[in-house]
Structure 1
Amino acid sequence: PHPRLLPRPLPHPRLLPRLLPVLLLATSLVAQEAKEGPIQDNSFLVEEAYNQEPGVVQHISTFTRYQESRDWIYTFTQEWPVGGLKHQLSFTLPWQRLGASLDGKQAFGDVALNYRYQLLGDGDAPVAIAPRFSVLLPTGDEKTGYGKGGTGFQVNLPVSFTLSKTFVGHFNAGATHTPRALSPDGDRGFTQDYNLGQSFIWLAAPRFNVMLEYVYTSGETVTGPGRTDRQSASYVSPGIRWAYNFRSGLQIVPGLAVPIGVGTSRGEKAIFLYLSFEHPF
C-alpha cells in the first residue's frame, strides 16, 4: 500500500536514540563499495526463485513470536545444490511452542523434505521460475496440535522478477495435500491447504534491503470423521535485511520484520528474526 502523500512530523526526540543504530547501520552499508552483486537471499515469508549456485550451501534460521497468542516457532533450513544450478535439495526442521492455545510445551512440528527445479532463469535473469515439491513428514504430535498426523505433499510456485535496477519482486502460489490427516481425537480426514504471497524488495544498497511482504494462508484441520474446519490468516510484513561478505566466500545475512495481521488476522502482530549463513563447500 502506498503511504498518503502528506507531510509527516519529525520523530519525537526520545525516539532518536532508538532510530540512531538503524540509521548508522544503513549509512555504513550504503557507503560500502559494491564488490559483488546485490543480496539475493531468501525473502522472509515469500520464497524466491533462485536455486543455490554450484558449490554453495546455505543455512537459514528463522524465529517468529506472536504478540497476542504468545506462540512462537523456530525453523532451520539447509539448502544444497545437486549437480549444478538446475536441482536443489533442502530440508526444514520446525521447533515450536504453542502457549495459551494448547499445553505450552515445546516440540517438533512436521519436517519438510524439499526438491526445487530451476525451470527458468537465475539470479541474473529478468524473470526466474523454480517450482518446488515437498514431502511433509508426520513428525509433529497431532494430539497437541503440532502436526497433521499424516504425510503431506506440497507444491509451491515461486516466481521472481526484476522491476528496475533497485526493485525486485517475488510471487508465490502453492497447495498442500494431506490424504490421511488426523484430529486430536484420532479421526482421519483429507485436508487441502493453500498459500499465496507477494513481496517487493528495495535494493537500497548492494548489502542493505528494505522489504514489504504479504502472505495469505488457508488451511484445514480434521474435526471429526470426514469433517474438516478451514481457517485463514493474512499478514503484511515490513522488514529489513543486510549482508556481511567475507574473503573466504562466507556471507552472513541477518534481518528482522514485523508481520501485522490484516483481514481475519487483524489485531495480531509478530516479530520475525532471520539469520542466514551461505558459504562454499
Structure 2
Amino acid sequence: MRFTTSASPMLALLLAAPGLPAQQPPKEAPIQDNSFLLEEAYNQEPGVIQHISTYTRLQQSGDWIYTFTEEWPVGGLAHQLSLTVPVQRLASSPDGGRRGFGDVALNYRYQALGDGDSAVAFAPRLSLLLPTGNHRQGRGNGHLGVQANLPLSVALGERLVSHVNLGFTHTPHAQDLLGNEADISTWNMGQSFIWLARRDLNLMLEFAYTSGDVVAGPGVRQPTQSAYVAPGLRWAWNLPKGLQVVPGLAAMVGVGPSRGETGIFLYLSFEHPLK
C-alpha cells in the first residue's frame, strides 16, 4: 500500500500481537496484496507478516523516493498495524538534492467487509504522519498530520480484479522551507485493474491522482496536483516454509497536471509466517 508522507506532488501518490499462531499461506498462494500506487482492501492473514520495499524515480525532475513498509496482523484478520518509512531525494531542495528521511507513517487498517477470498472487500485505514522529515529541505511537513484512505477491492471475474481508493490528508500548521505555517489538505483518488494472467504473474494498470495544497507563505496555501498512469507487472516465487517473494515494476507516465513527466517504479515484497 502507498501512503502520503510529504508535501511533494510525487510523494502525494505514494506490532505483532504476542501469541499469534503461525499460519502458513498455501504453497501456491496467488499474488494478491501487492499493489503499487494504490492500496488493496486485504488485511494480512493471522500469523503472516509482510515486508515491502518500493522505489520511485522521476526522469525529468530527478526526484526519487524509497519506502519500507512492514504490515502486522493484530489478533486476527480484522485489525492490522503497519509502519512506512520513506527515504527521498528532491533535486530542487536547498541542500542540493541530498537524500534524507521523510515523514514516517503509522497506520491502522480495519477489515470492515470481506477478505482476500471475497468478491468485494473494504478495509478503511487511518494513519498518523510523524514530522520526522526535514521540512526546511522539502522532505516533510514539519507537523503531525493525519490521513484516511478508503480502499475497495472488487473481483470483476475469475481473472480480473479492480481496486478503488479515495483518501484525505490534513496537516495543521504545516511548514515550508522558510518555516512559514499554514493548514494544508490533500485529496487522493485512484483505480487499478489487475489481470491474473497466472497465479504467479499479474499484469497491472493503475491510475493515481492527488489534489491539494502546499505552504506558500504565512497562512498562504498554493494548490498542487499530480496524476500518473502506471502500466506494470508483478510475479511471485513461492518458496519453502510459506515464504512468498513478489518483485514488480511499472512505468510512471504523467498525465494532466503531470504531463511530460515519466519515471520508473520498482517493488519487492517478502511475506511469511511469524514462526
Residue by residue, what CA displacement relative to the aligned partner does 1:22-41 show, whole Å, maximum 9, x if unpaired? xxxxxxxxxxxx96342112
Counterpart among 236, 243, 257 of residue 236 in structure 2? 243
Answering whether residue 180 of structure 2 is matched by residue 187 of structure 1, we say yes
Answering whether residue 205 of structure 2 is matched by residue 231 of structure 1, we say no
Q: Between the two proteins, what is the percent identity of the paired residues?
A: 62
RMSD (Å), alpha carbons: 1.1
Counterpart among 255, 259, 263 of residue 270 in structure 1? 263
How far apart in 2 are the matches of 1:209 and 1:65?
A: 22
SS at match of 1:248: helix
Structure with higher Rg: it is: 1
Residue by residue, what CA displacement relative to the aligned partner does 1:54-103 show, whole Å, maximum 9, x if unpaired? 00000000000100011110000000000000000000000011124542
**Aligned AA (2:254):** G
Give 1:54's aligned residue: 46
Give 1:85's aligned residue: 77
- The offset of 1:230, in angstroms, is 1.1
SS at match of 1:264: helix
**Aligned AA (2:230):** S
- The offset of 1:42, in angstroms, is 2.2
SS at match of 2:70: strand
Structure scoring higher RCO (CA < 8 A, sep ≥ 6) equals 2
How far apart in 1 are the matches of 2:225 and 2:93?
A: 17
Give 1:280's aligned residue: 273
Residue by residue, what CA displacement relative to the aligned partner does 1:82-126 show, whole Å, maximum 9, x if unpaired? 000000000000001112454211100000000000000000000
Tell me if the contact between 1:69 and 1:101 (Cα under 8 Å) persists in the aligned partners: no
- The offset of 1:247, in angstroms, is 2.1
How far apart in 2 are the matches of 1:253 and 1:95?
A: 21
How far apart in 2 are the matches of 1:181 and 1:193?
A: 12
Give the TM-score of the pair, scaled to structure 2.
Answer: 0.88
Counterpart among 32, 35, 42 of residue 34 in structure 2? 42
How far apart in 1 are the matches of 2:266 and 2:45?
A: 25
Answering whether residue 141 of structure 2 is matched by residue 148 of structure 1, we say yes
* Matched ranges for 1:57-68 at <5 A: 57-68=49-60
**Aligned AA (2:177):** P
How far apart in 2 are the matches of 1:133 and 1:48?
A: 14
- The offset of 1:264, in angstroms, is 1.0
* Matched ranges for 1:12-31 at <5 A: none
Gaps of 5+ in 2: 1-25
Count residues with an aligned counterpart: 248
Gaps of 5+ in 1: 1-33
Tell me if the contact between 1:114 and 1:133 (Cα under 8 Å) persists in the aligned partners: yes
Tell me if the contact between 1:67 and 1:270 (Cα under 8 Å) persists in the aligned partners: yes
Counterpart among 147, 171, 191 of residue 164 in structure 2? 171
Counterpart among 56, 66, 74 of residue 74 in structure 1? 66
Higher helix share: 1
